[in-house]
């Protein structure tokens, strides 16, 4: 090889591409559009949380990405393959935790986990898995005797048992008590630290803020906004609400620049206390409700 020649550059196009790439995804039921041109990308090793009201299309999106539901239109690539036609090798790289229950009722927790372990080429150690989901004390309990929250933990354990490259978690902590939820959070953090890509739907805004690198808000089958939790609804977050009492009546002003208003109020009251004065910025919940067009609590709030 001469000094002017170079080694060819080898590019891993599958790895360099997003772990999940969705373009123009559409799905209708009975003539009603559930997904109406949804676009979404998820990078390798990223955790993305899907938020949205009931009927927004979150679960349908997840099921299409898992390859268990057909789409009407659009392009979908998950780990470089179309889930609709991907084979067993692809499925071995994907973990799934659905809203339903897949485990049998007659086996114990330990028997169930060890039974499903034989289907994986690289299963996580059973003892570590049970500890991660907080089921060590229930290892000898039959599945039929578990509480709803404990069954949810078992479903999570089975979903991540194969050490997947990508895991889909559809409302994984529903029914869990606060301690179990935080144990699950540690499990997700461990998966991310190991490079696992995570896509989850959740009803809990605090969970999305705690776990997700980015939050994707879905409403009416479309992606409304996607951003890190602290940056979600950036324009909305700049709106400050100033409230006070004047002549016995409550007053409220929303503005991006509260300083002039506060200065005028202090001058009006001769630098004394302004009655009932508060200055607040919108919380993540406030931003979420505005993004989906809600003015109050929705059905999806816990």
Which strand ranges, in their side-by-side order, compose the sheet holding 20-29?
32-42, 20-29, 73-78
Q: pLDDT, tens digit, for every residue of 150-192? A: 888 888 889 889 889 999 998 888 777 888 788 888 888 888 8
Fill in the DSSP letter of residue 105. Answer: S
d(CA 62, CA 205): 19
Domain extents for the chain?
240-280
Does residue 301 register a pLDDT over 70? no
pLDDT at 300 over 60: no
> What single DSSP character describes residue 88?
H
Mean pLDDT of 31-40: 93
- The pLDDT value recorded for residue 276 is 86
Q: What is the pLDDT of residue 117?
A: 92
| Residues forming beta bridges with residue 268, ordered by sequence position | none
In the block, which residue shows the tokens 């300083």?
259
Average pLDDT over all residues of the chain: 84
> What is the per-residue pLDDT for 285?
81
H or E element: which one contains 291? helix 284-291
Strand-pair category, 166-170 with 32-42 = unpaired
pLDDT at 195 over 80: yes
pLDDT for the residue numbered 204:
86
Mean pLDDT on 111-129? 90
Residue 14 scores a pLDDT above 80: no
Per this entry, what is the length of the chain? 302
Q: Give 84-102 pLDDT, tens digit per residue.
A: 999 989 998 999 988 766 5
Q: Does 127 have pLDDT greater than 70? A: yes
Q: What digits encode the pLDDT tens for the residues 130-149?
A: 988 889 999 999 999 988 77
Sign of the torsion angle spanned by Cα atoms 237, 241, 242, 244:
negative
Nearest to 258 by CA among 268, 247, 243, 248: 243
């Amino acid at each position: 090889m001469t000094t002017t020649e170079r080694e060819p550059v080898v590019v891993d196009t599958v790895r360099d591409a997003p772990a999940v790439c969705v373009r123009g995804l559409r799905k209708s039921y009975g003539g009603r559009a559930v997904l109406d041109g949804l676009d979404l990308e998820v990078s390798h090793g990223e955790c993305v949380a899907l938020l949205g009201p009931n009927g927004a299309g979150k679960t349908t999106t997840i099921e299409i990405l898992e390859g268990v539901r057909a789409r009407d239109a659009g392009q979908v690539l998950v780990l470089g393959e179309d889930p609709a036609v991907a084979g067993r090798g692809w499925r071995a790289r994907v973990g799934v935790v659905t809203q339903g229950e897949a485990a049998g009722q007659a086996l114990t927790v330990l028997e169930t986990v060890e039974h499903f372990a034989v289907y994986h080429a690289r299963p996580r150690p059973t003892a570590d898995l049970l500890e991660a989901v907080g089921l060590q004390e229930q290892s000898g309990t039959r599945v039929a005797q578990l509480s709803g929250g404990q069954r949810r933990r078992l479903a999570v354990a089975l979903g991540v048992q194969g050490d997947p490259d990508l895991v889909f978690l559809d409302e994984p902590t529903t029914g869990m008590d606060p301690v179990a939820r935080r144990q699950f959070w540690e499990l997700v953090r461990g998966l991310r630290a190991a490079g696992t890509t995570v896509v989850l739907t959740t009803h809990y805004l605090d969970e999305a803020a705690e776990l997700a690198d980015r939050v994707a808000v879905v409403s009416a089958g479309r992606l409304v906004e996607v951003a890190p939790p602290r940056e979600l609804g950036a324009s909305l977050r700049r709106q400050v609400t100033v409230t006070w009492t004047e002549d016995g009546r409550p007053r409220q002003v929303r503005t991006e620049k509260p300083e002039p208003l506060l200065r005028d109020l202090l001058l009006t009251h001769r630098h004394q206390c302004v009655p009932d004065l508060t200055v607040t910025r919108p919380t993540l919940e406030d931003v979420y409700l505005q993004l989906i067009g809600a003015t109050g609590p929705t059905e999806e709030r816990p």
